[in-house]
Structure 1
């Protein structure tokens, strides 16, 4: 992982710099093992359909992410046997959502 992989992390993120690659790897791991579909709902919102078996892991990860990047809104729901996770950000942080969307696409393609 290079510093370019983290260039999109906003200044308001309070996660220590040394821990950021680890957190990003956690998101990559979740996406690699649990992501079933991704839908961009708007410039500020996306929906991930996840394997329901990953719910505890996803809730833990998003809960910790909310503590260091409080601009995120993570909403879980069940839909047709799948776990849905809606991720929303304010307009000022669309670039962060763009980066997560791109990482999900790259992870799915790998």
Structure 2
């Protein structure tokens, strides 16, 4: 996973997104209710773990790509291992970026 440099602005811009912030949060709720099995902190940041059911990997990859498009200070990696989809997220080592990562970790 490539973590953007600390000089990357900590800002999210959904003006070119195909969904609204409310729709994005609703999608997270659906994904988490459907497939999330755990969340954990890692040495670099955080990890969401999902059951690797039909379409879950594609769903996670699509959501990660859309999130990266609006929040370029995030570094994401999506992998599949042992019957699960893992979504790792990390940010530059700045207080502002770390605060957003904490909010991301706390998504319901």
- TM-score bracket, normalised by the shorter chain, equals 0.7 to 0.9
Shift of 1:69: 0.6
SS in 1 for 2:106: helix
Q: How many residues align?
A: 93
The root-mean-square deviation of aligned C-alpha atoms, in Å, is 2.0
In structure 2, the residue matched to 1:13 is 12
Residue 58 (structure 1) shift: 0.8
Larger RCO, structure (CA 8 Å, separation 6 or more): 2
Whose helix proportion is higher, 1 or 2?
1
Alignment correspondent of 1:70: 72
Q: Deviations over 1:36-62 (max 9, x none)?
A: 1111114x5111111112111111111
Structure 2, unpaired ranges of 5+: 1-8
TM-score by length of structure 2 reads 0.74
Counterpart CA distance in 1 for 2:47 and 2:77 is: 9
Residue 100 (structure 2) pairs with residue 101 (structure 1):
no
- Deviating beyond 4 angstroms after TM superposition, the runs of 4 or more aligned structure 1 residues are none
* Cα separation, 1, equivalents of 2:59 and 2:36: 12
- 1:78-93 equivalences under 5 Å are 78-92=80-94, 93=97
